[in-house]
Amino acid sequence: MKVLVVGGAGYIGSLMCRRLSDAGHQPVVLDDLSTGNKKALHCDIPFYEGDLGDQLLLKSIFNKETIELVMHFAAKIQVGESVEKPDLYYENNVAKVLRLLNSMLENNVKRFIFSSTAAVYGQPQYLPVDENHPTKPINPYGASKRMVEIILQDYEHAFGLNSIVLRYFNAAGASLDGTTGEAQRVKQNLIPIVLENVEKERTSQIFGTDWDTDDGTCIRDYIHIEDIVAAHLKALEHLSKNEGFDIFNLGTSEGLSVKQIVDLVSQISGKEVKSVAAPRRPGDPGKLVASSQKAYDILGWQPCHSDHETIIRSAYNWHFNRRY
């Protein structure tokens, strides 16, 4: 199957391209390189540099390539920035996706896999969070993702666009072969931040040490990017045989605390990880973990590489042996 991977030069998208090729599919990449890196891609993969909302470019790609399915990895994902600049998030994460979907329909491409987020749930009302949990996003990033989910459901009903939404909890780790990983200049996620602080001998902040958890620090559900990519392959298989719209959580139902991350990085690196307590951040829940039972039952997916040591060790190996 020929698959258009939008944001295919990024953290998860580039690994997706590798695993699509491994599985016998043909990835085609569209990326504006604002956060991605062309060096993450094999030279044989067709690459188009440009904006996902550029309808002339999209028309050209659909005319030249026989695209059968589209995967989307091109969202802006910084929660804090979304609060300060909601216009950027609604433009990139909603308006441009709408143009992409309309271009797909104009070219009779009716299979779509969308990267969503646990941020659509907001503050958890119960744990583990399943797909029936109310969606009440508390920031523009989460709201922008939820808007696209609603659009996809409406487009399936009105236009027969078949789609699967995958709600990641906390994407983490690097490819097991060490070829690709988190490469953004400004780190946004906890594990890369801690690793960079170790490298530069800086102190990491722990936001809140008085949460109702075993060690007093926040707990999150971390899912290895190899498992996220595997879920996309399962979703692709499902869409090749089934029609409709569906949503699946991607998580482990287990959590890793901030203190556990600090301790694991110290253990794996053999170095002291300096940390200091800081006030809680507004809007942070103390614990957030996912139920992925639905993905197991329907897609036949389960995480295989999301044990805590594999996540931290693969991220560590990538950070200190980056190829780009």
d(CA 111, CA 156): 10
Say yes or no to pLDDT of 282 above 90: no
Contacts of 43 (CB under 8 A, 6+ apart): none
> Active-site residue numbers?
141
Q: What is the DSSP letter of 203?
A: P
User: Would the pLDDT of 285 be above 90?
Assistant: no
Within 10 A of 167 (CB to CB), how many other CB atoms are there? 26
Torsional class of 244: left (φ above 0), alpha (ψ -120 to 50), beta (otherwise): left
Amino acid at 268: I
User: What is the model's pLDDT at position 80?
Assistant: 86
pLDDT at 188 over 90: no
Fold of 2-173+223-251: Rossmann fold (3.40.50)
284: pLDDT strictly greater than 90: no
Residue pointed to by tokens 């609060």: 83
List pLDDT tens digits, range 236-272: 999 999 999 999 999 999 999 999 999 999 999 999 8
Find, among 136, 145, 133, 281, the residue nearest to 205 by Cα: 281
- Tokens standing for residue 302: 């389960």
Q: Provide the pLDDT confidence category of residue 181 given band limits of 50, 70 and 90.
A: very high
Q: Please report, for the chain, the start and end positions of each structural domain, with discontinuous segments joined by +.
A: 2-173+223-251
Q: Is 237 helix (H, G, I), strand (E, B) or coil?
A: helix
Angle, alpha carbons 204-207-210 (nearest 5°) = 125
Number of Cβ atoms within 10 Å of the Cβ of 218? 24
Bridge partners, residue 23, by sequence:
none
Q: Which two tokens stand for residue 231?
A: 């879920």
- Is residue 283's pLDDT more than 80? no
Contact 229, 8 (CB under 8 A): no
Q: Could you say which DSSP state residue 298 is in? A: I
CA atoms of 241 and 174, how far apart (whole Å): 31
Which pLDDT band, with edges at 50, 70 and 90, does 93 fall under? very high
DSSP for residue 15: H
Report if pTM > 0.85.
yes
C-alpha closest to that of 202 among 156, 262, 246? 262
pLDDT tens for each residue of 104-161: 999 999 999 999 999 999 999 999 999 999 999 999 999 999 999 999 999 999 999 9
**Angle formed by the axes of helices 55-64 and 96-106, nearest 10°:** 40
